């Protein structure tokens, strides 16, 4: 078991969208599946949104309890804006993933319907 370093700017230049978050999640899961811990280096990234973290790091919560997540996935060179967005995502993700699967499905359906009104 080793450590995989991922320079986030090589995966996505801006951490703003859910799609960018999914790209990072794929890279992180690949390393975790090999048994490696992960260090995410956010140098050269200055723009962040909670949506990005919701679709990347927070999606690991069902697989890794928060105490294990903090040990297995480390973050460096994250600016204050990024730290706030990540913190919000992990807080909400922790609450969301503790809900029963039917409640989560209902919430996801409501969100999708709401978003479709903006299209």
Q: What is the pLDDT of residues 79-96, one digit of tens each?
A: 999 999 999 888 887 777
What pTM does this model have? 0.82
Question: Are 78 and 43 spatial neighbours (Cβ–Cβ below 8 Å)?
Answer: no
Q: Where are the domains of the chain?
A: 3-116
d(CA 53, CA 45): 13
Q: Which of 70, 61, 57 is nearest to 94 (CA)?
A: 61
pLDDT at 115: 64
């Amino acid at each position: 078991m080793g450590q995989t370093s991922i320079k986030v700017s090589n995966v996505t230049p801006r951490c703003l969208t859910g799609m960018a978050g999914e790209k990072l999640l794929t890279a992180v899961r690949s390393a975790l599946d090999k048994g490696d811990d992960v260090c995410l280096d956010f140098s050269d990234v200055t723009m962040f949104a909670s949506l990005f973290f919701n679709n990347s790091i927070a999606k690991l919560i069902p697989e890794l309890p928060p105490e294990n997540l903090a040990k297995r996935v480390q973050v460096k060179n994250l600016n204050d804006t990024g730290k706030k967005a990540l913190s919000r995502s992990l807080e909400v993700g922790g609450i969301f993933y503790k809900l029963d699967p039917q409640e989560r499905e209902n919430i996801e359906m409501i969100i999708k319907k709401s978003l479709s009104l903006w299209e």
